[in-house]
Amino acid sequence: MPSLTNVIGAIGATIVVSLVFALWIGWPGFLAVGTGSIFGIAFLIVSTALGDDPRAADDAWRAQAGDLVGSRANEPADDLDVESGDHPLQPPPAPDPPS
């Protein structure tokens, strides 16, 4: 459910885009209102999807998906020696070309 702030922002975007298309570009009213409405709906979808506080959404996800996060998710990786190149995500070194 979108918040009141998101709905007000979408209505504002709809009005602004409709007025720009109707008054400045000179489109007929029904096309300007239709285009503004599509833009307002897209604005509402994006603003609702982004949410108000991404950190709160992340914390809520971690609370519900504790089995997916694992016990070592927030611990430092002490057993990896990054300077020597011993890293599980790093590909092995390329072999020397034959001479």
Query: pLDDT tens digits for 2-36?
Result: 788 889 999 999 999 999 999 999 999 999 999 99
pLDDT at 98: 83
The total of other beta-carbon atoms located within 10 Å of residue 80's CB is: 13
Cα–Cα distance measured from residue 73 to residue 66, given in angstroms and rounded to the nearest whole number: 10
pLDDT tens digit sequence for 40-89? 999 999 988 887 676 777 788 778 876 665 555 555 555 555 565 555 66
Q: With cut-offs at 50, 70 and 90, classify the pLDDT of residue 96.
A: confident
Please give the structure tokens belonging to residue 47.
Answer: 């603003």
The pLDDT, as a whole number, for residue 42 is 95
Bridge-partner residues for 86, per DSSP? 81
Under 8 Å between Cβ of 44 and 85:
no
